[in-house]
Amino acid sequence: MSDLSIYKDVLMDHYRNPRNRGDLADAEVVRRGSNPRCGDDIEVGVNFADGRLGRVKFRGRGCSVCLASASMMTEAVTGKSQQDARQLAEAMQVWFTADGEPPTESLQALAAVRGSSARKRCVLLAWEALDDALAAA
Amino acid sequence: MPDVAMKNCPLDVLDVATIVADFPLLARAGDSLHYLDNAATTQKPNVVIDAIGDCYRHHYGPVHRGLYPLAEEASKCYEIARGIVAKFIAAPSEQLIFTRSATESINMVAQGWARSRLRQGDQIWVTRMEHHSNYLPWQALCRETGAQLCIIDLKADGSLDFDGCSSLYGSRTKLIAVTQVSNVLGVINPIKDICARAAEQGIAVVVDGSQSVGHMPVDVAELNCDFLVFSAHKMFGPTGIGALYGKAERLSEMEPLLLGGGMVDDVGECDSSWAPYPAKFEAGSQNLADALGFSAAVNYLETIGMAVVHKHVSDLTQYALNILQRMNGIELYGPRDLCQRGGIVSFNLTDVHPHDVGQVAGERGVAIRAGHHCCQPLMQHLGVAATARASFAPYNSHDDVDALADAILAAQAMFA
């Protein structure tokens, strides 16, 4: 229970103070993820540097979980190779579909909403947009 | 004016504790659950659960297919159930067809009755507030036939705005599909007026009664609608069964969608003739247990009294509106005039996504819906992606509304 409340604090911090949220005009690739079921609609933009993800930003609207997950995603993948970032996106899908541990410790707080099937799409939206962007790059 | 028959309404206060005791899930949950998602589906009383169990334990057999006593009993039970559900909406028994759901009922009318009657340039009218189930079948039918889908828009308070609908009752209109009560706004539509005007022009009216039947008195003879559809599970009955009422003439004209056992008179090598309705529309083995559960739900509601049910839910709605409209940072949708609305309250909180409202409420034991409620055209009209929605039933009390208000405050505090 106390873990859960710490996790929620982390999510709320990312929701209130989102990292890397802003304009995507300079991004090399932009991909959109939207979930008309709840109106979540975000875009993820990527710039590459030396074959790695140099800068990852997002913009859009969504519920707290969606925006917090997007914020955490940008931190988790910046600096990674494309292959590693896509593997992480895939590992997120697996983590939210089956039992298991989070792919990296920095994403542990998302465990707070793992039990809620209704929030799965909220969490994964940014990751899917990222994966689309990397597939297109 | 709304078609709610408030005549003879006994004003006794409904004893919520007694009602709750009839619903095992609610009785067991006690104060830990405030179930306010009744527009999605209602909880089930013991009499419904027992009727289904008793069917399989004591009366189960093939319906309209056997000559031995058990089969005769099953057939008799099934037809008694039909009669009870039909009488509930003041329909003749044979004009009440058991279907899987209100959704299936609408699709049956669209494909079995409307399709062969539509020509290029004809019009079908729907409203901006329709549930997707009373929108998509008509949209698809128009695409197939070249007919035009026309939309009755809404006034600021959510009620129907007939001003821009000059051709609504015109010669090109073949059908009007309208909900009696909006599942988002709670608004009660003037069905009787629409049906009266439509009947003068020979236009068929399909009424979605999913949020009205079982929530307020509904009388098809008084409404004079051509078709009325509703689902059992939104009125204390089981899932998987619904109903279609049709005027005798319309049911004679309508073609069955499902062909198979039990719905034919003569089957020849090249040609066959259908059995009279309702059998014509109930191909395959009948859903006896759920029909008995459905009729038990109707009996239960009639024991409380539909006027009492409507009064109680209206009082709760008024109480909720009074509390919610005094709160800061909340937008309420739908008319404020209680005569114009059923027990549904949709709202949004400033800068809090409805999903977050729904989750915070859920963690506090308050079950509300958050989403577009299968009403995307309406959401576009409201300029929102989603709303939060509370909807009331006879087992709800002021305590449930108070818990909702507390949950709203908690959500606002968390996301402020």
> Do the beta carbons of residue B138 and residue B178 sit within 8 Å?
no
Is residue A99's pLDDT more than 80?
no
Is residue B260's pLDDT more than 80?
yes
**Tokens 């989403």 sit on residue:** B371
Listed range (A108-112, B108-112, B391-395) with the worst mean pLDDT: A108-112
Average model confidence (pLDDT) across chain B:
94
User: Hey, how many other C-beta atoms are within 10 angstroms of the C-beta on B273?
Assistant: 10
Handedness of CA B201, B203, B206, B211 (dihedral sign): negative
Task: Name the nearest CA neighbour of B243 among B131, B374, B86, B51.
Answer: B86
pLDDT category at A3 given cuts 50, 70, 90 is low
Phi, psi for B276 (deg, rounded to 5) = -65, 155
Average pLDDT over residues A13-30: 95
Q: State residue B11's pLDDT score.
A: 43
Average pLDDT over residues B253-275: 88
The distance of B242 to chain A (nearest Cα, Å) reads 25
Q: State residue A1's pLDDT score.
A: 43
* More confident call, B379 vs B206: B206
Average model confidence (pLDDT) across chain A:
91
Largest CA distance in chain A: 43
Residues whose CB falls within 8 Å of the CB of residue A105, separated by 6 or more in sequence, listed in order? none
| Nearest C-alpha in B relative to A40 | B385
Average pLDDT over residues B114-139: 97
Phi, psi for A21 (deg, rounded to 5) = -100, 135
In chain B, domain spans: 16-42+306-415, 49-302
Take residue B22 and report the two structure tokens written for it: 């009839």
Q: Do A119 and B359 touch (CB under 8 A)?
A: yes
Q: Residue B386: its chain A contacts at CB < 8 A?
A: 38-39
| B410 reaches A (C-beta below 8 A) | no
Q: Residue B353: its chain A contacts at CB < 8 A?
A: 38-39, 62-64
Is residue B9's pLDDT more than 70?
no
Q: State residue B3's pLDDT score.
A: 41
Of residues A15, A39, A119, nearest to B385 (C-beta): A39
The Cα–Cα gap between B55 and B59 comes to 5
Is residue B4's pLDDT more than 50?
no
Phi, psi for A66 (deg, rounded to 5) = -60, -45
Q: State residue B303's pLDDT score.
A: 96
CA dihedral B115, B145, B143, B280 (to 10 degrees): 10
Of residues A64, A116, A118, nearest to B353 (C-beta): A64
Of residues B356, B379, B384, nearest to A63 (C-beta): B356
Take residue B292 and report the two structure tokens written for it: 């008995």
Number of helical (H) and strand (E) elements in chain B, helices listed first: 14, 16
Q: Which CATH architecture has domain B16-42+306-415?
A: Alpha-Beta Complex (3.90)
Of residues A15, A36, A122, nearest to B355 (C-beta): A122
Average pLDDT over residues B264-281: 88
Q: Do A119 and B355 touch (CB under 8 A)?
A: yes
High-pLDDT (> 90) share of chain B, %: 85
The distance of A61 to chain B (nearest Cα, Å) reads 9
Listed range (A24-38, B8-22, B108-122) with the worst mean pLDDT: B8-22
Take residue A126 and report the two structure tokens written for it: 């940014």
| Nearest C-alpha in B relative to A8 | B414
Quick one: fold of A2-136? Sufe protein. Chain: A (3.90.1010)
Residue type present at position B209:
G
Residue type present at position B81:
A
Residues whose CB falls within 8 Å of the CB of residue B106, separated by 6 or more in sequence, listed in order? B133, B134, B137, B177, B206, B208, B229
Is residue B10's pLDDT more than 50?
no
Q: State residue B55's pLDDT score.
A: 97
The distance of B350 to chain A (nearest Cα, Å) reads 12
| Nearest C-alpha in A relative to B353 | A63
Average pLDDT over residues A97-117: 85
In chain A, domain spans: 2-136
* More confident call, B336 vs B95: B95
The DSSP call for residue B188 is B
Mutate one of B351, B352, B355, B368 to test the A interface: name it (highest A CB count within 10 A): B355
Quick one: fold of B49-302? Aspartate Aminotransferase; domain 2 (3.40.640)
High-pLDDT (> 70) share of chain A, %: 97
pLDDT category at B12 given cuts 50, 70, 90 is low
Beta strands in B291-386 (DSSP E): 330-333, 344-349, 366-367, 369-371
Average pLDDT over residues A62-87: 95
Q: Do A118 and B355 touch (CB under 8 A)?
A: yes
Q: Are strands B242-246 and B96-99 parallel, antiparallel or unpaired?
A: antiparallel
pTM: 0.90
* Stretch (H or E) spanning B20: helix B16-21
pLDDT category at B269 given cuts 50, 70, 90 is confident
Residues whose CB falls within 8 Å of the CB of residue B53, separated by 6 or more in sequence, listed in order? none
The Cα–Cα gap between B113 and B97 comes to 15
The Cα–Cα gap between B216 and A115 comes to 38
The distance of A52 to chain B (nearest Cα, Å) reads 34
Residues of B noted as catalytic: 374
pLDDT category at B1 given cuts 50, 70, 90 is very low
